Structure 1
Amino acid sequence: MEESVLRYGTPEELEAKRIAEIKALSYLERLERLMAIIEVSYTLKKAKIIQSKKR
């Protein structure tokens, strides 16, 4: 497992670092990250619907 790294800097510097990190990824790695984001988003949306029905 990767060690956590704290990042300090201005928002512009952090954004530039994120963009450079993403550009360094392969197409497959980018796709995997996108699918993970979609899965988390769907799970959160589904959880909110279930929670609101219980009330």
Structure 2
Amino acid sequence: MKKNVLSFGTPKELEANRIAEIQSISYLERLERLIAIIEVSYMLKTAKVIQSKKR
């Protein structure tokens, strides 16, 4: 996987770049990314909130 680079541009340019990137990867890579997003989402949903102690 190539290194991510921050890109600046208009929203249309950024969206076009993102669409081109997604179309260039294989079905399996797309599925892996989706599973990773689902896992992170589930972890955030079920994580316990750590409250800071105020003294």
- TM category, shorter: 0.7 to 0.9
Q: How far apart, in 2, do the equivalents of 1:17 and 1:28 lie? A: 20
Find the residue that maps to 1:22 and give its secondary structure.
helix
Runs of 4+ in 1 over 6 A off after TM superposition: none
Asked if 1:25 corresponds to 2:28, the answer is no
Asked if 1:43 corresponds to 2:24, the answer is no
Q: TM-score, normalised by structure 1?
A: 0.78
Consecutive unaligned residues of structure 2, counting only runs of 5 or more, are 50-55
Consecutive unaligned residues of structure 1, counting only runs of 5 or more, are none
Aligned CA-pair RMSD: 1.8
Find the residue that maps to 1:29 and give its secondary structure.
helix
Find the residue that maps to 1:17 and give its secondary structure.
helix
More helix by share: 1
Q: How far apart, in 2, do the equivalents of 1:3 and 1:31 lie? A: 19
